[in-house]
Every structure is written in structure tokens, then in C-alpha cells.
Amino acid sequence: MGVDNVERLIDKFGRPITDLRIAITDRCNYKCVYCRTGNQGAQYAELAFSDYARVARVFAGLGIEKIRITGGEPLLRRGVVEFVEELARLRTLDGSVLDLAITTNGHLLAELAQPLKDAGLRRVTVSMDAVEPERFTRITRVPNAFENVLAGIREAQKAGLDPVKVNCVLLRGFNDDQIVEFGKFARSEGVIVRFIEFMPLEEDRVWSPQIVVTLKEILERMQAFRPLVEIPHTRSETARRYMFDDGVGEIGIIAPVSQPFCGHCSRVRLTSDGKIRTCLFSLFDHDLHAVMRRGGSDQDMAGYIRNVVEQKEARHHIGEAGFEKPSRSMVHIGG
């Protein structure tokens, strides 16, 4: 069948599915207080890179255009550079290279940024929840780690990964005093800072509506520091984007809690153990790896994926009565 005849993945609500996130481990070297209890380690298996690569190839044949490697902490896995090299050989249905990105805590990025870039990685998102070293340690529960992350960010820029984004999850009373500091950081380091509203996806029970620092509040506090000008965004973009009035420094806000964007969701996720999750808040997952273990062909996998995508949830129900916590927490899904 020519590529023109391939039916691209689309769910029953008409949303095209173009974005795949692959978790390559659920191990993490950080114990961020809002994510992990600090007591639990890895809970799920890791597959061979050849299995993830096969999944990626089948998805690319169904219209996926973007792949983000995540975890757990993806840079903990040996072979990640070679994996990126393999993904870089894939093509979209239009014959373009895939848009390859990675989300990392940045701890091991300084030495891996250039090899990852050379392997074909386009961009990187570094998670960082404070710009003050001491505060950073309180959040990650790893001493002296801030310098590593800062070095990672700078090496990523030097290597030409573009853009380098820094994601920050704010918790009221914990790091919300860092908002303006992050604005200054965006300006001085030339990175795009994106604030993400805290979602009920933690191992523990930390989340409450009151602890979420909303888009509206972040904007008000940042505007008091310096006026912001909104950058027009496309319908499918998850972040609302802003530039400071003098053109120096971009920030974005991703507001899944106060302004959900499920109507434009284009994502599916593969967990480290080969399960498909159609929503961060799914109550169950779909065992694609079982199809592979049974000796299924690429066509069998494609059929299975189509069927799963059909079942993608309309939206999440954060903050509503009867909200059920998903069957896995963020670190075990892949953020």
C-alpha cells in the first residue's frame, strides 16, 4: 500500500494522534517530593531497545511525527544514544525525519548532550523546580545536584539542541516564590521556561486543588515583575506562551488543571514495560508488548494500536467529584 493510502491514527473524537512518548525506564535518580514517596523504586520492567524501536517504527507507519523519550529518568539507561540514532533513521509518512525530543532531570545531561545531538536528537526539556540550589535539594532530595543540572542545560545549548526548555512544577508554599526567579532565569540563560500545573499523579497523596498554582496566578505574579506579551499559539499547542515586553526571555504555562486542553490532545504513551496508555489519567493500560511476545507481526501490532486509540478517553476529570486516581503515577507512566 502506498503511504498516501495509509490511514493515519485518529481517535473516535476526531483527534489525530501524532505524538508518541516512550518511557525507557521507570527508575529515577531523583526523589522529587511531589512525584515520589522516596520509598518505592522501579516497579515495572524495561524492554530491550530493539522492542521500543520496533514499536516506534510501527507507530511512524501510522502517522506519528513526534517521539519524546522519557521515564523515570531516561538518561540512566545505557544505550540511550544508540536508541536515538535508531529513531533518527525512521521517517514520517511524508518522508521527513521524526521530531525527536527527550525529557530529563538533567543530572547526567552535561556529558550526553553532544552525543545525543550527534545521534539525531532535536530538542530537550529539562525538569527543574527551583533556581536556588538549596531549594532544589529540598525538592529533589539529592544534595548538590543543582550544578549538574545547570551544566546540563548549558551543554545542551552549546550542542545546538534547540529549543532547550526548562519545565517547572509549582507547589503552593513550596516553590511558588521561585516564579519571578524563573523569569529572570529565562532571560539570563536564554532558555524557554514552562510552568506546569501540578496534577494528581504523585505516588503519595499530596495533591489538592489548593496546592495548584494556576496559570492566572503565575501570570499575575510574573507581570508584576515585568510586563508580558502573549505569543499567538496554534490550537494544538499545550502551552500558552509569553515574551517579556523587551523581547528578552520566553515563558510558557501549561495548565491541564485550570484550562484543560484534552480536546486537542494528540498523544499516546508507551510505558517502560510496553503498555500503551491513551491518557495520563487512564484507569488501565493496553499490553502491546503481549502482542509482540505472542509473535505478532507489525500488522498485528498496528491493528492492536488502532483499536486502542479508538478507546482514548474524551478528557480527564481532575478536580471533579468522583475523580479516580489513575492506575500508575507519573514516574511509572512517563511524563
Q: Could you say whether residue 61 binds ligand SAM (CB under 6 A)? A: no
- Angstrom distance (rounded) from CA 20 to CA 46: 17
Q: Could you say whether residue 105 binds ligand SAM (CB under 6 A)? A: yes
Q: Could you say whether residue 26 binds ligand SAM (CB under 6 A)? A: no
Residue of 127, 61, 71, 125 lying closest to 98 (CA atoms): 61
When binding is defined by CB under 6 A, the residue of 71, 249, 252, 326 that contacts ligand SAM is: 71
Determine the interface stretch with ligand SAM among 68-76, 111-119, 242-250, 263-271 (rule: CB under 6 A). 68-76
| Smaller CB separation from ligand SAM, 106 or 183 | 106
DSSP structure class, residue 122: -
Q: Could you say whether residue 169 binds ligand SAM (CB under 6 A)? A: yes
Q: Could you say whether residue 46 binds ligand SAM (CB under 6 A)? A: no
Backbone φ and ψ for 88, nearest 5 degrees, come out as -70, -15
Handedness of CA 146, 206, 179, 194 (dihedral sign): positive
| Smaller CB separation from ligand SAM, 99 or 300 | 99
When binding is defined by CB under 6 A, the residue of 24, 61, 90, 104 that contacts ligand SAM is: 104
CB of 156 to ligand SAM, least distance (A): 13
What single-letter amino acid sits at 324? E
Set of cell numbers at residue 7: 490511514
Calculate the alpha carbon distances from 233 to 249, 267, 303 in Å: 17, 18, 34
What single-letter amino acid sits at 154? R
Pairing between strand 123-127 and 164-169? Answer: parallel
Q: Could you say whether residue 335 binds ligand SAM (CB under 6 A)? A: yes
By CB under 6 A, the count of residues binding ligand SAM is 20
CB of 308 to ligand SAM, least distance (A): 22
Residue with nearest beta carbon to ligand SAM: 335
| Smaller CB separation from ligand SAM, 105 or 178 | 105
CB of 7 to ligand SAM, least distance (A): 31
When binding is defined by CB under 6 A, the residue of 73, 86, 250, 273 that contacts ligand SAM is: 73
Residues 6 or more apart in contact with residue 267 via CB below 8 angstroms: 17, 19, 20, 21
Q: How many CB atoms lie within 10 A of CB 24?
A: 26
Determine the interface stretch with ligand SAM among 27-35, 77-85, 155-163, 184-192 (rule: CB under 6 A). 27-35
**Burial profile 242-255: b = 16 or more Cβ within 10 angstroms, e = fewer:** bebeeeebbbbbbb
The answer to whether the CB of 149 falls within 8 A of the CB of 110 is: no
- Residues near ligand SAM, by CB under 6 A: 28, 34-35, 70-71, 73, 103-105, 127, 167, 169, 196, 198-199, 201-202, 330-331, 335
